[in-house]
Amino acid sequence: MATPKHILVINGPNLNLLGSRERQHYGSDTLPAIESRLVAQAKQAGARLAAFQSNSEAELVERIQQAGREKVDFIIINPAAYTHTSVAMRDALAAVGIPFVEVHVSNVFAREPFRHQSYFSDLAVGIISGLGAKGYELALAFALQYSKRS
Ligand code: DQA
């Protein structure tokens, strides 16, 4: 039997506040609720999913490096505010070479100009922005059927 696909979901700063934070942009779903739906969705497909959130850039870089050592197959990442600033997280993703989808709950292109710049998008397999919490589920559906050869 093939080893189960190992998927990692990473959320950056302030996403622990989903559900109470600026609901006009981010809706009312909480991060634990989103993560438990993703775990169930992965399990149903016979995959393993781990979720990580941090407000610290250093911890996020460490977690990406750890994913490289763990041979994670695919990353779903919402770098949050670090999307627009973090060369360090970009470099970590480039270093581990794990394919990833960049997710944003809000439509960053319909917001302030500084949110239109991402240090991740050109390295990402693709981007989902503005579909609310559903964006994570759609990214996971993609990750579950993704193969490097496709
Ligand atoms: C976000 C968009 C970012 O601009 C913002 O800093 C966030 C969340 C989103 O999910 O829409 O914290 O990544």
Distance CA 120, CA 106 (A): 16
Distance CA 128, CA 53 (A): 18
Q: Which helix (H) or strand (E) holds 126?
A: strand 126-129
User: Which residues, at least 6 apart from 59, have a Cβ–Cβ distance to it below 8 Å?
Assistant: none
Cβ of residue 78 lying under 6 Å from some atom of ligand 1? yes
The model's confidence at residue 118, banded by pLDDT at 50, 70 and 90, is: very high
Distance CA 49, CA 51 (A): 7
Q: How many whole angstroms from 76 Cα to the centroid of ligand 1?
A: 14
The model's confidence at residue 148, banded by pLDDT at 50, 70 and 90, is: low
Going by C-alpha positions, the residue among 82, 79, 20, 25 that lies closest to residue 53 is: 79
Distance CA 97, CA 56 (A): 22
Is 119 part of the annotated catalytic residue set? no
Question: What are 1-51's pLDDT values in tens digits?
Answer: 578 899 999 999 999 999 998 888 898 899 999 999 999 999 999 999 999
Cβ of residue 86 lying under 6 Å from some atom of ligand 1? no
Are 75 and 10 within 8 A, CB to CB?
yes
**DSSP bridge partners of 99:** none
Cα Rg of the chain (Å, integer): 14
Cβ of residue 118 lying under 6 Å from some atom of ligand 1? no
